[in-house]
Structure 1
Amino acid sequence: MTTSLSGKVVLITGASSGIGLAAAQAFAAQGARVALAARSEDKLRELAATLPDALAVPTDMLNETSVARMVAQTHAHYGRIDVLVNNAGRGMHVPVAQAGLAEYRELLELNVVSVLNAMQQVLPIMTAQGSGNIVNISSGTTKSLVPGLAPYSSTKHALNNLSLIAREEFRPLGITVSLVHPGMTATDFGYNSVQSDPKRAAAYVQGDSAEYVGGLIVQAVQSGEAEVYAESVQRRLKPA
């Protein structure tokens, strides 16, 4: 039996475009109330206006205070937070030998540290409720070795470990932590990556739709599975 999302409060980071936007629309279609977090206030407000019950929460995920404010504002508005989707992130397409250290540190901050911060911020709220779901968006690149993607995939490897251990630690509190592993997805992600390779970025248009991945995120919440994979990623996994 899948969990009903009607009336649930879902906080989504990176919600102004791509997978985050698609996830917001998918949750809203299931009757959820959605809080939309990203840096672009204008885009968030435009999106919120198209959904039945949505809150725009402008947030800089690299700023600890801003993340704390995001969670507090969502909780104050809705009185609870049932689901946190940590979707905000960035890629880095560059060989190991050419990876800039400053850029890599910032990537770690966004892809890993900000996720840890968001989880810590919602933890007291979900603990008091006795229930909650956290979905962290990883990457299919963690299931294969792709030259040129080590800086990016290494941050997602760290996120995987953080998430799966948090799943065990949070389970007694009634909180379920899940990972979603998208494959290549047709968004602007490739173009927005650090030291982006134009040819590699252009290849993303041939990937899965953002709507497909948004559906996987909904699936993760409804099923409570530890890890949910895009079909393209699933095909690369070795049999157990």
Structure 2
Amino acid sequence: MKTTSPQVALVTGASSGIGKATTLTLAHAGFTVIGTSRDTSRIAPGNGVAFLDLDVTSDESVASVVEQVLERFGRLDVLVNNAGLGIDGAAEEISMAQTQSLFDVNVFGLIRMTKAVLPHMRTRGSGRIINVSSVAGFVPNPFMANYVATKHAVEGYSESLDHEVREYGVRVLRVQPGPVNTSFDANQIQADTPLAVYAHRRGVFEDVMRETMRGGEDPADVAKVIATAAADPKPKLRYTAGSTAARVSVLRRIAPARAFDRSVRKLNRMVD
């Protein structure tokens, strides 16, 4: 009797939050799952998920992990680019070195991973690359300008690349969560040149963000959307994840620009 081996999925940034939930959801759905993190020694084994150390800012580390997966399993069907960083502060307060580090993970790390898996997927004539973006990929957010810029870059790269590789059986999709109840806000990099002029308004933003994150979606709900994108027979270019993301997506498309601008300022308790 002919048997079909399970599809293989590789998930970056899998030690916690959305990434961890995604590994569990994909494993439950029947995928062979490899999760990655900078240091997987702190991750308890089990749940049918294998783990590998990965630094998405290193060409050598990326190439090594993809090679290990292909040698062990002989295939790679789904890549979930989830690894990412946040940064807290006004754009003027964040140094160029910090900005470059942020882009190296959120954008260039995603591109490194994508370039590493594309030759295999293209040769096999099938594959899914799922990039975890954000509502920040299509709306502004004060005191997150540099982070928002990375997510806008992910949006443009993903949609453009999908046109290039679709004829080879490979799809590049985006999942756009709204606020998610994780430790993302607590783990953000702090701006290295804080300025007194922004201190009060930055503090207000941090309060808003804490409240928004604690009331955000369960990471497991976002993981279910990622799993849907991985298996959807007729994949969509983008999948919003959660009620907030869906609502903001609609408002961005239909609300007059001035009204949407006012809503952003109101949400962030800013004055005109």
The reply to whether TM is greater than 0.5 is yes
1:34-183 matched pairs, under 5 angstroms: 34-44=33-43, 46=44, 49-52=45-48, 54-183=49-178
Match of 2:231 among 195, 210, 222: 222
8 Å contact from structure 1 (residues 190, 200) kept in 2: no
State the TM-score, normalized to the length of structure 1.
0.91
8 Å contact from structure 1 (residues 86, 137) kept in 2: yes
Alpha-carbon distance, 1:22 to partner? 0.1
How many residues of Structure 1 are paired with residues of Structure 2 in the alignment? Answer: 232
8 Å contact from structure 1 (residues 143, 236) kept in 2: no
Within 1, Cα distance between the matches of 2:161 and 2:152?
14
Alpha-carbon distance, 1:18 to partner? 0.6
8 Å contact from structure 1 (residues 6, 32) kept in 2: no
Within 1, Cα distance between the matches of 2:208 and 2:248?
20
Alpha-carbon distance, 1:43 to partner? 3.1
Deviations 1:67-114 (A, max 9, x none): 111111111111100000000001112112212211010000100001
Q: Does 1:199 align with 2:198?
A: no
Alpha-carbon distance, 1:201 to partner? 5.5
In structure 2, what is the equivalent of residue 186 of structure 1? 181
CA root-mean-square deviation: 1.8
In structure 1, what is the equivalent of residue 194 of structure 2? none
State the TM-score, normalized to the length of structure 2.
0.81
Within 2, Cα distance between the matches of 1:50 and 1:173?
35
Task: Please tell me the residue identity of whatever aligns with 1:213.
Answer: V
Within 2, Cα distance between the matches of 1:8 and 1:208?
27
- Structure 1, unaligned stretches of length 5 or more? none
Q: Secondary structure at the match of 2:51?
A: strand
Alpha-carbon distance, 1:141 to partner? 1.6
Alpha-carbon distance, 1:66 to partner? 0.4
Deviations 1:136-169 (A, max 9, x none): 0111122322111111010110111000011100
Decide which moves more: 201-210 or 159-168: 201-210
Deviations 1:203-226 (A, max 9, x none): 322211110111111111222211
8 Å contact from structure 1 (residues 6, 30) kept in 2: no
8 Å contact from structure 1 (residues 36, 55) kept in 2: yes
Deviations 1:25-44 (A, max 9, x none): 00011011001111122134
Within 2, Cα distance between the matches of 1:64 and 1:192?
25
